[in-house]
Amino acid sequence: MSTAPFTYDANPGRVVFGIGSLARVGEESARLGGRRVLVITDAEAKAIADAVVEQLGDRVALVWDEVAQHVPIELAERARAAATAAAIDSIVCIGGGSSTGLAKAIALTHGVPVLAVPTTYAGSEMTPIYGLTGPSGGDTSRKATGKDPIVQPRIVIYDPELTVGLPAAVTGPSAFNALAHCVEALYAAGANPVITLLALDGIAAIGRSITTCVREPANVDARSDVLYGAYLAGVSLGATGTALHHKCCHVLGGTFHLVHGEVNAVILPHAVAYNAPAVPELMVKVGTALGAPAGVSAARALFDLAASIGAPSSLKALSMPHEGLDDAAARTVADTTVNPRPVNVASVRAMLEDAYEGRRPA
């Protein structure tokens, strides 16, 4: 046996994980040295934000409660102007990937440190990746992503109690977003054996507990397990990158204004089926981590899991226009630079047709 050579770019960051850890936001944010804190919150997480504002007391310079998926540049620019006017020196963001994404957009231009309190399973809090959507390039529907260590939250507080209020319609799809990060980290640029361990454990944690989270939303043990899996997924994404699945989800979400988690739930089984011939051993590991029954492929196990937790399983169900598939296939191919199986417009178009119809992978 020998270990193949690899390169692993580990991202820094402090993580506080545990039930009740929201109570530590005040002391943890003091580590950032901020005296004028911008609190960014999703309106749905307002009760959590109120508790944070109380802890921060007179260190709060501004509370911003408007967020949106894929961070429209127009929203980012308004928030940046408000941050400048309030002379903020640090950010505490509360909510899902939309809140974290807005915090990152401001950190990018203002160079201020971020403390993130995630309330979904998106995982953005563990990555140096940011995204902004139109219209700066002239195309209002395109999402542009970049990487900069300045945007990665310095501290992340994971409190499973904050996720018990997440509706089933968000819980399942958001967990699929995390599963997708784990799966793609196995073969994206930067994949390495350390991240493979984390990613497979993330798949296992989510696979064994997501059904309970959907059926018993207040089961905090199951919520802890899935949030832990989502954390591992975020680490895995942050240290590697994305491939066909995420490129496709960003094209579909950015162009047709689809909900990110829901698109992930629909596309992941098909992206796994697409790539399985190129990385069969890895996909067997995915199936094993998911606890797939003997003879059931990873792609089918993912499709069946989505169906069993009531997550959407077709683009048709997301009201994606069928006539958009050709353009989506062409854009996905243009954006996909790394993938284990080569992509071309015809093969990706066929994958999208399966996803549109919600066909169970062969």
The site for ligand NAD (CB under 6 A) is made up of 42, 44-45, 69-70, 95-99, 101, 119-120, 122-124, 127, 129-131, 162, 165-166, 170, 174, 177, 237, 260-261
Contacts 24+ apart (CB under 8 A), 299-304: 299/269, 299/270, 299/272, 299/273, 299/361, 300/269, 300/360, 300/361, 302/176, 302/179, 302/268, 302/269, 302/272, 303/269, 303/360, 303/361, 304/360
Please work out, in degrees rounded to the nearest 5, the angle formed at the alpha carbon of residue 120 by the alpha carbons of 27 and 67. 85
Looking at the Cβ atoms of 178 and 299, the one nearer to ligand NAD is 178
Comparing every residue's Cβ against ligand NAD, the nearest one is 97
- Helix axes of 298-308 and 260-275: crossing angle, nearest 10 degrees: 160
CB of 236 to ligand NAD, least distance (A): 11
CB of 1 to ligand NAD, least distance (A): 34
CB of 165 to ligand NAD, least distance (A): 4
CB of 233 to ligand NAD, least distance (A): 9
Cβ-proximal residues to 163 (8 Å cutoff; 6+ apart), any chain: 119, 120, 121, 171, 213, 223, 226, 227
Q: What is the full DSSP assignment across 255-324?
A: HH---HHHHHHHHHHHHHHHHTTTSHHHHHHHHHHHTPPTT--HHHHHHHHHHHTT----TGGGT--GGG
CB of 111 to ligand NAD, least distance (A): 18
User: Hey, what are 334's tokens?
Assistant: 């243009």
Looking at the Cβ atoms of 131 and 312, the one nearer to ligand NAD is 131
Looking at the Cβ atoms of 130 and 356, the one nearer to ligand NAD is 130
Looking at the Cβ atoms of 131 and 340, the one nearer to ligand NAD is 131
CB of 344 to ligand NAD, least distance (A): 25
CB of 343 to ligand NAD, least distance (A): 20
Looking at the Cβ atoms of 117 and 272, the one nearer to ligand NAD is 117
Looking at the Cβ atoms of 123 and 207, the one nearer to ligand NAD is 123
> From CA 65, how far away is CA 286, in angstroms rounded?
38
Looking at the Cβ atoms of 180 and 355, the one nearer to ligand NAD is 180
